Amino acid sequence: MTALLEIRDLRAEIGGRKILNGLDLTVNKGEIHAIMGPNGAGKSTLSYVLAGKPGYEITGGQVLFNGEDLFEMSPDERAAKGVFLAFQYPLEIPGVATLTFLRAALNAQRKKRGEEELSSPDLLKRVRELAKKLGIDPEMLRRPLNVGFSGGEKKRNETLQMALLEPRLCVLDETDSGLDIDALKVVANGVNQLRSTERGMIVITHYQRLLDYIVPDVVHVLAAGRIVETGGKDLALQLEATGYAQYQNEAA
């Protein structure tokens, strides 16, 4: 069986600074992988490189998504193929209603996949249902995307987009940052509802706390741009106790 995501010896840099130094990772359908690591380990870089953010230079390695070379695809093609990045800091777009944005994104993806665009009433119905599940005030859908949203609202909005777009691979970049415990539970709940045998997830986090709510199948430690340890969910608890110091030394 082809892995959902296969990263082989990935090397990447930004502005001449080496960030990823030979990273290997395989994620199969139905699996949730947590990636933990100290600040500056390359966690966000990994998520951006997978999504195709401009500015990063791939200096080596390969990433296969369902067997296809991810680097051959433009960022919007990756999105249409099912790569979804939940941003650590979701962006604000003044003047563009959330619903307008959702429609634009969904239909752009459907068009690229050769599917029919969703009609406005159908879309509205689906978005409303999902919003209800996530405890999102329908009024928020009329407001400009993320503008004036609280940290919790922004992350809920990311989760809503993820649920609507039904990606194959979800990359959650520090989804817990800036969230209080109640907001964290709501978001984690939303993410858990998306767990499926057809879908893989990479949950990037600095803290173990998120993993109490989104329980991973595999936990990796990322340090200095490489996976330095892989284990079960207990590894996260162990890290909580010992910290990252040992890995930083190791990497250095």
Which parts of this chain interact with other proteins (CB under 8 A)? 51-55, 74-76, 78-80, 84-85, 87, 90-101, 103-109, 112, 120, 124, 141-144, 161, 165
- Sorted by sequence, the CB contacts under 8 Å of residue 209 that are 6+ apart come out as 176, 184
Find the shortest distance in angstroms from Cβ 92 to other proteins: 8
Nearer to other proteins, 18 or 53 (CB): 53
List of E strands, the chain: 5-14, 17-27, 32-36, 56-65, 68-69, 83-86, 169-173, 200-205, 218-223, 226-231
Question: What distance in Å separates the CA atoms of residue 105 and residue 125, rounded to the nearest whole number?
Answer: 16
Find the shortest distance in angstroms from Cβ 124 to other proteins: 7
Find the shortest distance in angstroms from Cβ 223 to other proteins: 26
Residues 199/168, Cβ–Cβ less than 8 Å: yes
Smallest CA-to-CA distance from 187 within 127, 134, 128, 133 is with: 134
Our measurement of the distance from residue 214's CA atom to the centroid of its chain's CA atoms, rounded to an integer in Å, reads 13
The residue with tokens 């590894």 is 235
Q: What is the dihedral of CA 184, 124, 101, 150, to 10 degrees?
A: -30
Find the shortest distance in angstroms from Cβ 51 to other proteins: 5
Nearer to other proteins, 53 or 233 (CB): 53
Pairing of strands 83-86, 169-173: parallel
Nearer to other proteins, 80 or 218 (CB): 80
Nearer to other proteins, 23 or 160 (CB): 160
Find the shortest distance in angstroms from Cβ 106 to other proteins: 8
Nearer to other proteins, 19 or 79 (CB): 79
Angle of the 120-133 helix axis to the 98-112 helix axis, nearest 10: 120
Find the shortest distance in angstroms from Cβ 75 to other proteins: 4
The strand pairing partners of 222, in sequence order, are: 227
